[in-house]
């Protein structure tokens, strides 16, 4: 059995008795479509084999008692009075209790143990995984009968309101709806989606973790959203039918540019181009045209770095190195930005050589050895053990 499930069960038994169930929620990658979700565009994520495990059981009183195996810390509080904790890991659980209760789903007291192997601050959505595991586990434990999409929306709301990051829907959606070996094309406006296999005999997906933790990311992330909203408000003066950047074309931006702040123009241009790029990239993948797909990854990185300004020198270095390697056909920073991982599309037989080369070069420039994780696309949120 998976060691992390064992840990989640063992620590629960040690502190609280027998858990009622254990839920697994994975982290995610996103092949293309960055910062498009909150602009009602398209994204192409997949859930991965790194995950968070939450073991849980009800209590007779209204207490919430949590233990994090990774932080080796306890949290104790009451479900009747949820407030932000100084223990940041506990907030992702509390955020879910808060959102559920505000929507009328009463949570009694419960114990939970949290264990995971998603690198924190690496852009692989460890926080969304904790939120999804918690809401799935509470839904089972207290019989709320919420469907997956409702849980995704509530987990996103929890992140927006309790944590204060105005994230889009992608991370919680990918963690909840992922399927082994499938990527998901999600329309973030209609929330319609379809799965298709990511299969290549020739290329592998590889994550390189810059190990720069994206500490700036939350505040800068919210600022990017404000920039997009300012862009839409401006465009609406010329084109009243534009309600989000999903509706805008580069021509609209050019037309409105003379009175649009240059920074806002660049942000909007990146988003508008990226939304089109995702649609085209999905077609490339469906046709098995990895070379054209890979080129789009480089274009996305350029846009994120030069127009959207969410990269950092370390991520630019990693992508630049990848671009110069003959067996890497695509690379870009992934997720919110300001640190975390790059995603690389690499010829299978060149993986070892590429990892050695990029690790040595990065170590020499930044004094840090990056981590390399080959990607395995795995199942989304599920109960992995119940008593």
Residue positions annotated with a catalytic role = 171
Residue 227 binds ligand GLA (CB under 6 A): no
Give whole-number Cα distances, 140 to 106, 133, 306, 328, in Å. Answer: 13, 11, 45, 44
Q: Out of 11, 38, 293, 362, which residue is the one contacting ligand GLA (CB under 6 A)?
A: 38
Binding residues for ligand GLA restricted to 123-182, rule: CB under 6 A:
125, 167-168, 170-171
Nearer to ligand GLA, 335 or 380 (CB): 335
Residue 277 binds ligand GLA (CB under 6 A): no
The alpha carbon of 38 is separated from its chain's Cα centroid by a whole number of angstroms, namely: 13
Nearer to ligand GLA, 218 or 371 (CB): 218
Residue 330 binds ligand GLA (CB under 6 A): no
Question: Binding-site residue total for ligand GLA (CB under 6 A)?
Answer: 11
What span, in angstroms and rounded, lies between the C-alpha atoms of 56 and 21? 6
Residues in the chain: 387
SS3 state of residue 283: helix
Q: CA 46, 50, 55 angle in degrees (round to 5)?
A: 115
Q: How far is the CB of 125 from ligand GLA (least distance, A)?
A: 6
Contacts of 26 (CB under 8 A, 6+ apart): 47, 48, 49, 50, 51, 52, 118, 129, 175, 178, 378, 379, 380, 381
Farthest CA pair distance, the chain? 66
Q: How far is the CB of 163 from ligand GLA (least distance, A)?
A: 10
Residue 37 binds ligand GLA (CB under 6 A): yes
Q: How far is the CB of 356 from ligand GLA (least distance, A)?
A: 29
Q: Specify the stretch interacting with ligand GLA by CB under 6 A; choose among 34-42, 105-113, 146-154, 323-331.
A: 34-42
Binding map of ligand GLA across residues 75-104, x = CB under 6 A, - = no contact: ------------------------------
Q: How far is the CB of 17 from ligand GLA (least distance, A)?
A: 35
Region of residue 327 (phi > 0: left; psi between -120 and 50: alpha; otherwise: beta): alpha
Burial category of 210 from C-beta neighbours within 10 Å (exposed 0-12, middle 13-18, buried 19 and up): buried
- State how beta strands 382-386 and 193-197 pair: unpaired
Q: How far is the CB of 43 from ligand GLA (least distance, A)?
A: 7
Q: Out of 19, 119, 231, 335, which residue is the one contacting ligand GLA (CB under 6 A)?
A: 335
Residue 301 binds ligand GLA (CB under 6 A): no
Q: Out of 9, 12, 32, 35, which residue is the one contacting ligand GLA (CB under 6 A)?
A: 35
Nearer to ligand GLA, 113 or 268 (CB): 268
Residue 336 binds ligand GLA (CB under 6 A): yes
What span, in angstroms and rounded, lies between the C-alpha atoms of 135 and 157? 12
Question: Edge-to-edge strand order for the sheet containing 45-58?
Answer: 73-78, 63-68, 110-116, 45-58, 21-30, 382-386
Q: How far is the CB of 332 from ligand GLA (least distance, A)?
A: 11
8-state DSSP, 303: I
Residue 34 binds ligand GLA (CB under 6 A): yes
Q: How far is the CB of 128 from ligand GLA (least distance, A)?
A: 7
Binding region for ligand GLA (CB under 6 A): 34-35, 37-38, 125, 167-168, 170-171, 335-336
């Amino acid at each position: 059995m998976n060691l992390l499930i064992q840990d989640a069960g063992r620590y629960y038994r040690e502190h609280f008795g027998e858990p009622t169930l254990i839920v697994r929620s994975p982290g995610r990658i996103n092949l293309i479509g960055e910062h498009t979700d909150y602009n009602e565009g398209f994204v192409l994520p997949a859930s991965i084999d790194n995950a968070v495990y939450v073991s849980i059981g009800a209590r007779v009183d209204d207490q919430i008692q949590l233990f994090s195996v990774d932080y080796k810390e306890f949290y104790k509080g009451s479900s009747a009075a949820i407030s932000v904790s100084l223990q940041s890991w506990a907030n992702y659980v509390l955020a879910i209790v808060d959102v559920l209760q505000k929507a009328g789903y009463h949570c009694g007291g419960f114990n939970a143990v949290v264990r995971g192997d998603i690198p924190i601050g690496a852009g692989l959505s460890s926080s969304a995984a904790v939120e999804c595991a918690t809401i799935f586990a509470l839904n089972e434990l207290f019989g709320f009968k919420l469907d997956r999409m409702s849980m995704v929306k509530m987990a996103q709301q929890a992140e927006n309101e309790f944590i204060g990051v105005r994230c889009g829907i992608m991370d919680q959606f990918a963690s909840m709806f992922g399927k082994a070996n499938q990527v998901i094309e999600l329309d973030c406006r209609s929330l319609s989606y379809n799965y298709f296999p990511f299969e290549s005999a020739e290329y592998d997906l590889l994550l390189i973790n810059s190990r720069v933790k994206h500490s700036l990311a939350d505040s800068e992330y919210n600022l990017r959203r404000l920039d997009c909203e300012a862009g839409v408000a401006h465009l609406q003066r010329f084109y009243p039918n534009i309600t989000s950047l999903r509706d805008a074309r580069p021509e609209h931006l050019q037309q409105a540019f003379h009175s649009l702040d240059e920074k806002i123009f660049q942000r909007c241009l990146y988003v508008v181009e990226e939304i089109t790029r995702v649609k085209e990239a999905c077609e490339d993948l469906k046709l098995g045209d990895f070379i054209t797909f890979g080129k789009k990854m480089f274009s996305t990185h350029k846009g994120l770095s030069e127009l959207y300004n969410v990269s950092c020198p370390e991520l630019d270095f990693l992508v630049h190195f990848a671009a110069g390697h003959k067996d890497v056909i695509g690379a870009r920073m992934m997720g919110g930005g300001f640190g975390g991982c790059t995603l690389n599309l690499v010829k299978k037989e060149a993986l070892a050589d590429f990892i050695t080369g990029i690790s040595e070069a990065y170590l020499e420039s930044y004094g840090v050895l990056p981590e390399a994780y080959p990607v395995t696309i795995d199942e989304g949120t599920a109960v992995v053990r119940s008593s």
